[in-house]
Amino acid sequence: MEESWVNTPETPIAGSDPGETAGTDLHLELSGEGSRRAQLADALREAVRSGRLPPGTRLPPYRSLALDLGIARNTAAAAYAELVEEGWLSARQGSGTRVAQRAAVHPDRQRSPQRRNRRRVPHDLMPSSPDAAAFPRTAWLTSARRAVAAAPNDAFGVGDPRGRPELREALTEYLARARGVRAAPDRIMICSGFAHGLGLLGKVLGGTWAVEAYGLAFHRAVLEAAGSRTVPLTVDASGARVEELPERGVRAALLTPAHQFPTGGPLHPQRRVAVIDWARSCGGVLVEDDYDGEFRYDRQPVGAVQGLDPDRVVYIGSVSKSLSPALRLGWMVLPGWLVDDVLAAKGPREMWSGVVDQLTLADFITSGAYDRHLRHMRRHYRRRRDLLVGTLAERTPHIRVGGIAAGLHAVLELPDGTEDTVLRATRRQGLALDGLRSYRHPDSTMAPRDGLVIGYGTPMDHAFPGALDALCLALPDPEEDEKD
């Protein structure tokens, strides 16, 4: 058996022919009886028959394929011609040689797409997801071209675990201007998102962390995986009750001060001051998850708590809501005394965030495209929020809606003891969403609250009204509640 890439005496000398760099790579195994022409034709038939080369696939020019396989050009050309005559391939001037549209496909390959198709939920109202269709593709590509063209050669070497200096400098200016964060480039570290940054801090700080009684179980799991345990802080209309911190005996706290997730609302000003006083008094650290800090609708922006004391607050942000979670880009603004320890935990090389995306985001910010995108998305999400609230007010006025002044989700309050029943009804309507109880810390002493957490960022514009119709059909009727 001879695989591709194996040279033979028939292979032209490297650099002697432009065909050496033309075309695309195609892996074929030449084996069996007969001439090289017969072996190549059999290998191509099998690749098409098995479905590895589906109809419409463009094959490499016969000269480049011959060079890769170490056979004569005439041999490859003759094999191509044979398969065109048999109907396996089609050749047209200007478009090259392709697998014919009517080429036979193995029955198993015909059935496999059906086996792989996963059931899709008609209406996705899961919280915290942005509108993927609104990603600014054109502006992002413009920044990518500009950033790559201007990047120094060392940008394409081994990655710096601190992150590219271009992005750290851009974030220094942006975060100070837009979020009131006090930072310098040498205190910013790029990470692949909030969870990545939180995991690094969990390893460095260790011990027991205070977290909000209602929050993401995933974040609690990240801390536990890093060797830390969590204890809950009561949450009310003013955010986390930080006066409970001293009695918890912790040195680290994780909060969402700009917009408590999932119940909604900013941390009260007095509590913002109180959490800083706690951190100073015990040498503790507040880790600030700036959840939805960019998206506010009915109130003035709430600045970051980090601005009150940069030496006692770690500020973490990302583009997962503002642009896309697919970019895997976030940042930590660290107290100076934590930088070296977190850097050591991250490792000597950047293994998480791609340099090109970092350079692109830096240009996207400095060019003003990020601000323009955020302003556009605020209007977009506010329209979604208003449609949600208006529809519920008209069709289910007995359901109270909260947490709507900012962010990408709302909380629908339900009568006690009805959450499980309503969730089953939403599934029958083809809705994917969360119940409020799923966010409750298992050790919390707060009375469980029944509700639905509705994300309004994900559905396409044309599908959103249908999702709201399905939601209203699933919500309980007040007359039925009275009968119960």
Per-residue model confidence as pLDDT tens digits over 116-162: 333 456 899 998 789 999 999 999 999 999 999 999 999 999 889 99
Hey, what amino acid is at 204? V
CA gap 153, 149 in Å, rounded: 10
Q: Is the pLDDT of residue 231 over 60?
A: yes
Range among 39-48, 105-114, 195-204, 473-482 rated most confident: 195-204
The strand pairing partners of 236, in sequence order, are 239
Q: What percent of the chain has pLDDT over 70?
A: 90
- List the chain domain ranges: 2-113, 135-371, 374-483
3-state secondary structure of 471: helix
| Top-tier CATH class for 2-113 | mainly alpha
Q: Average pLDDT for residues 92-121, to the nearest whole number?
A: 58
pLDDT (tens digit per residue) in 297-324: 876 778 899 999 999 999 999 999 999 9
Asked, colleague to colleague, whether 2-113 and 135-371 share their fold, the answer is: no
pLDDT of 5: 31
Treating both helix axes as pointing N-terminal to C-terminal, what angle do 73-86 and 62-69 enclose, rounded to 10 degrees? Answer: 120
pLDDT of 40: 94
The DSSP element (H or E) to which 97 belongs, if any, is strand 96-99
pTM above threshold 0.85: no
What is the pLDDT confidence band of residue 84, given thresholds at 50, 70 and 90? Answer: confident
List all residues 6 or more positions away from 419 whose beta carbon is below 8 Å from its beta carbon. 435, 436, 437, 450, 451, 452
The two beta strands, 2-3 and 330-333, are unpaired
What backbone phi and psi angles, to 5 degrees, belong to 256? -115, 75
Q: What is the CATH number assigned to the segment(s) 135-371? A: 3.40.640.10
Domain range 374-483, CATH architecture: Alpha-Beta Complex (3.90)
Q: Average pLDDT for residues 34-62, to the nearest whole number?
A: 91
Q: Give me the residue label for tokens 């919500």.
A: 475
Q: Average pLDDT for residues 71-82, to the nearest whole number?
A: 92
